[in-house]
Structure 1
Amino acid sequence: MRTIERYITRELTMPFIVVILILVGLFASFSSARFLAGAVTETLGLAALFKLVMLKTLIALEVLIPVALYIAIISGLGRLNKDQEINILYASGISGKRIVFIVLMMTIPVAIISGMLSSYVRPWAYAENYILDAQAEAELNTNRFQAGRFYGSERSGRVVYVQDKDEANKKMSNIFHYIKTSEASEIIFAKEALQVQPTREERPAIVLTKGYLYQLSHEAFKDDMIQFDQLTYFTDSELALRYRRKAAPTRTLWESEDPWELAELQWRISRPVATILLALIAVAFIQSTPRQDKATRTYLLAATVFAVYYNLSGLAKNWVEQGVVNTTIGVWWLYAAMFILLVLYALKPGHKLLSFR
């Protein structure tokens, strides 16, 4: 009996590993191409590019793992069914319920991993990702500048000039900075500037030393001049200042009553449930009386079902955020509906693995 269990587990594990590696490779390649097209390497450097790709991939794993498991179960059990091995297992005294149990024993650890990724790894990855995004978006990022050149931005009305630059220490010397707003123009001369590497709790900033700040008002007699020994200039955009609920620790979300944060919390803790239900849906596509001409249609139907689920899961989260559904019902109506449909399918007579009969 244990030999058969190990055999079925192996037939599901191998395609799962292959599919997850393919999905991760494709996602990482797509992310790398997008960052290269956005000139991230020029802004933050090659090391930051690799870190961004790693973070994006970690964030995506909570979705890629259930997808890989879903495909692996359909592929693995489909092959066993196609080669009549499931019928041989039936003849050997292995029931459909036993096969489903073996699938669940493989699925539960994967579901736990998916939940841990969603609840702990994903928030950390988002927090690190936001730091790099803020640095990439910041117009005053030292990686953008080369010595002896002027840099301007039509969007913000900013002009920057750096006379000398130390690439190794992220230091600049003899800096000119000009920015024009609707109320005033601001000019800064500084002897030195140092790019500060922020932590997750800090905002990106440049520390300017030994300089002058001129604020020239568009109205008469309101100009100011400040001499400073040290001035901290925050470089993050307005977008980077907004609260990032996706990066909030799970324990913080538990204490919140805000619909947006509760939607994020429910999304995280529902990942294990979603993984198990998707695995059972995958089992439901396997008939114990194989038909070769239906294989292609089965895969197309399975892809359609997953696409419908994925869109509904996003819709369920949005409804909680927008107050369309109260937080008590939350996203759980979708998984309750999936469970009910699986029970109804299992009660229906027929030659299938997922059956109560």
Structure 2
Amino acid sequence: MIVFRYLSRELLMTLSAVSAVLLVIIMSGRFIKYLAQAAQGALDPGVLFMIMGFRIPGFLQLILPLGLFLGILLAYGRLYLDSEMTVLSATGVSQQRLFVYTLGPATLVALLVAWLSLGLAPQGVAQVERILNEQDALTEFDTLVPGRFQSMKGGSRVTYVQDLSDNRTELGGVFISDKRLSSDGAKERGITVLVAESGRQEIQPDGSRYLILENGYRYDGNPGKADYRAIQYDTYGMLLERPQVVADIGEREAIPSSELWGSEDQRHRAELQWRLSIPLLVFVVTLLAVPLARVNPRQGRFLKLLPAILLYMAYLSLLIAMRGALDKGKVSPELGLWWVHGVFLAIGLLLLFWEPLRLKLASRRAAREVVHA
């Protein structure tokens, strides 16, 4: 029991550190993506942290298996390097018993991953979809930030307002630069610049929204040429288009797991198998990591780290590829993703029992040589 607690503590501490680093890296990349959309006016900056919070369960369900895999390699590799595993082996702790000890924390991780994969992650994706749908209902007027140039319509329009009322109905100091494109959008035909002292939003009975500018000028022309046309106006109206929010999630990811059970839809069955595969992945990578963590103290703890990571990447990549094939009906649902787990389970068993099997065969060979002698 003392050995089990010691190994579990070392493993869970390394797992927590590795998972925290991976989570920060992944969240930073996604946050930058959402921040770029907010800077372009496609997202309200106030919802960024809500979106990231709801996406955390989806990130963790894939980070924790990798964190456990790396945690076993790093924690047990250090124990081998410090000859602690040699002492444990001398007291009767074999590779098989070490694997049994490791199943304790691995089971906790698998239960947490199952909860995330089957419960929290779909709920989080559903909340993100709700937020993005609300953002789709906004116009560029609703996402304006005073004192900031904001790019709209894929960069073809730049909008700036100096002042904006608290209820977002009145503007002051308006500047709008809009590129005029050809009908196919491939060629720029000129540029239109609008400046106005003030503006307001006006909603029509059909729900469309217009920006009404007052006391300003409109300039039409081509950059680099002196044939600009200037028009002074008292009132000018322009249609407010809705910003396009680019989401990186699929509709199936938001479906509750209870609705996927018993579904005959091919895509739903693929999604359910994927959600069940992630907790199963935890046990298989544990079986792979325990023998791969064994290193010679003279070789260093990182000798097998790169081959082990490549093996893990092959495992996960094959699961993702088979998920896509199952989606398209190229693989039968009965075979599905299960054969991938079976292949790597066999590899793990071979790695775990290879050393005692090799020693047993060597002892038999030596015994035969003695008899013949």
**Structure 2 CA distance for partners of 1:350 and 1:153, relative to 1, 3 Å:** same
Aligned to 1:19: 18
Aligned to 2:124: 125
Q: Which runs of 5+ in 1 are unaligned?
A: 174-181, 183-189, 195-205, 209-232, 353-357
How far has the Cα of 1:127 moved from its partner? 1.2
How far has the Cα of 1:248 moved from its partner? 0.5
Aligned to 1:53: 52
Does structure 2 conserve the Cα–Cα contact (< 8 Å) formed by 1:41 and 1:49?
no
After superposition, give the CA deviation of every residue in 1:73-93 in whole Å (9 maximum; x if it has no partner): 111111111111111112223
Q: Which runs of 5+ in 2 are unaligned?
A: 172-182, 184-199, 210-239, 359-373
Aligned to 1:251: 258
**Structure 2 CA distance for partners of 1:152 and 1:345, relative to 1, 3 Å:** closer
Aligned to 2:187: none
Aligned to 1:77: 76
Aligned to 2:178: none
How far has the Cα of 1:143 moved from its partner? 2.6
- Partner secondary structure for residue 304 of structure 2: helix
- Partner secondary structure for residue 292 of structure 1: coil
Does structure 2 conserve the Cα–Cα contact (< 8 Å) formed by 1:27 and 1:57?
no
Alpha-carbon separation, structure 1, partners of 2:312 and 2:88:
29
Alpha-carbon separation, structure 2, partners of 1:238 and 1:8:
47
How many percent identity over aligned positions? 25
Alpha-carbon separation, structure 2, partners of 1:260 and 1:172:
48
The aligned length equals 306
After superposition, give the CA deviation of every residue in 1:96-116 in whole Å (9 maximum; x if it has no partner): 322211100110110011011
Does structure 2 conserve the Cα–Cα contact (< 8 Å) formed by 1:42 and 1:144?
yes
TM-score between both structures, scaled by the size of structure 2: 0.68
**Structure 2 CA distance for partners of 1:191 and 1:54, relative to 1, 3 Å:** closer
Q: Which of 260, 264, 286 lines up with 2:293 in the alignment?
A: 286
Which residue identity does 1:79 align to in structure 2?
Answer: R
Does structure 2 conserve the Cα–Cα contact (< 8 Å) formed by 1:40 and 1:49?
no
Aligned to 2:225: none
Does structure 1 conserve the Cα–Cα contact (< 8 Å) formed by 2:61 and 2:278?
yes
Alpha-carbon separation, structure 2, partners of 1:264 and 1:235:
32
After superposition, give the CA deviation of every residue in 1:24-47 in whole Å (9 maximum; x if it has no partner): 122222222222233358554443
After superposition, give the CA deviation of every residue in 1:6-41 in whole Å (9 maximum; x if it has no partner): 111111111111111111122222222222233358
**Structure 2 CA distance for partners of 1:56 and 1:131, relative to 1, 3 Å:** same
Alpha-carbon separation, structure 2, partners of 1:315 and 1:55:
26
Q: Are residue 348 (structure 1) and residue 354 (structure 2) matched?
A: yes
Which residue identity does 1:118 align to in structure 2?
Answer: S
Aligned to 2:324: 318
**Structure 2 CA distance for partners of 1:152 and 1:193, relative to 1, 3 Å:** farther
